[in-house]
Amino acid sequence: MVSLSNKGNLELCMKHNLAGFTNSINGLWTFFDIDVGDYISFLYGARVRNLYRVVGKVAYRNAEKLPPWPSITFRSGRTYYFPFRLFLKLEREFDEPMVRREFSYVAENLLLRGGYRKTHFQADTLTFYNVSEMGVPYTDESTYLELNAETFEPRIVFKRENQTIPEKFYFKELILQSLVRKRLKATVLRDALEFFGVDNSPNEFEVLGEKALPEGYADIFIKLKHPSATNKYLLAEVKTGKAQKRDVEQLRKYTEEYGKEAVGGILIAREFSKFAFRDGRILPIRYYFEGLDSSAEYSYGELLNMLRLEVET
């Protein structure tokens, strides 16, 4: 389940079961990060509203001219519109206050953030189970806004001069975080568990997006799906460039927030400073894109297939 805030970079049209995201890196990140088949709810005014299933996603050219949302111009002079869109199927109807204990994972993230800092964040399995029993099932047919408009597939480029928003975005850490989160369990999570002496299977864990902490924000949060008596936590930080000693120190502070239940930390970077290690509670993992041509452009799916994660030795 993914929770979304109805603020700034996101607009929701309930009439047409449509969510739209701006021509910004946050909008693109959300569009990439949420998959068809995911379930989402919306946060607005300290309330959680409805459960939807994502049934389609599309990016439109010239979206500033398309309904149902007008462009938005901020005091900075920047104008945003909504090229990135999700088609939704309403599954359950409810309107519940955030203070319910069933939303504790979501509420903690919002409280420590100080509000809606990001377009969206991922809730855990337990929250999804709870939400799936709230309100009433929606059984009517969903209606969608049909547009006779040209579509495109967003691309990622590795040279700033090749960026032409919203069709092509320069590679940013947010995109890397999303890619790593989707590849981690199938690649190096088993190695990480062995490194930290954890005998659980990787399939017993869920790999979640950003987790707010008193010390800051862990890029990736890994925990048992169904803890018994105690939980086991791994926190991961993702850096597009070279990891430094300060990154290790920051990650160590994150793990200390969870005391004895923190298994350890994972630091993912392109390369590592010789001063960054050694720390027995932090596992360094190197990322790279196999066959990458820095002058070329790539879809999100292509980068996901090219991404390699390897334990740094």
Q: Is the pLDDT of residue 113 over 70?
A: no
Q: Are residues 135 and 80 in the same domain?
A: yes
Q: Is the pLDDT of residue 12 over 90?
A: no
The CATH number of residue 268's host domain is: 3.90.1570
Q: Does 212 or 149 have the greater pLDDT score?
A: 149
Q: What is the mean pLDDT of residues 16-36?
A: 94
pLDDT score, position 212: 86
- Report the range of poorest mean pLDDT among 31-35, 100-104, 166-170: 100-104
Residue 200 included in any domain: yes
Report d(CA 10, CA 18) in Å as an integer: 11
Q: Are residues 42 and 179 in the same domain?
A: no
What is the number of structural domains in the chain? 2
pLDDT score, position 114: 52
Q: Is the pLDDT of residue 108 over 90?
A: no
Q: What is the mean pLDDT of residues 250-258?
A: 92
Residue 241 included in any domain: yes
Q: Is the pLDDT of residue 115 over 70?
A: no
CA torsion angle 188 191 196 201 (round to 10): 90
Q: Are residues 108 and 229 in the same domain?
A: no
Q: Are residues 142 and 196 in the same domain?
A: no
Pairing, β 262-269 against β 233-238 = parallel
Q: Does 116 or 269 have the greater pLDDT score?
A: 269
Q: What is the mean pLDDT of residues 169-196?
A: 97
How does pLDDT run across 266-307, given as a tens digit for each residue? 999 999 987 656 667 899 999 999 999 999 999 999 999 999
Residue 72 included in any domain: yes
Report d(CA 113, CA 211) in Å as an integer: 9
Residue 163 included in any domain: no
Report d(CA 222, CA 224) in Å as an integer: 7
Q: Are residues 13 and 135 in the same domain?
A: yes
pLDDT score, position 142: 86
Residue 123 included in any domain: yes
Q: Provide the pLDDT confidence category of residue 43 given band limits of 50, 70 and 90.
A: confident
Cβ neighbours of residue 68 closer than 8 Å, sequence gap 6 or more: 13, 15, 16, 18, 145
92 residue type, one letter: R
Residue 112 has a CB neighbour count (10 Å cut-off) of 15
Residue 181 included in any domain: yes
Name the residue range of residue 58's domain: 2-152
Report d(CA 186, CA 190) in Å as an integer: 8
pLDDT score, position 126: 92
Report d(CA 211, CA 265) in Å as an integer: 13
Q: Are residues 94 and 203 in the same domain?
A: no
Residue 7 included in any domain: yes
Q: Are residues 187 and 295 in the same domain?
A: yes
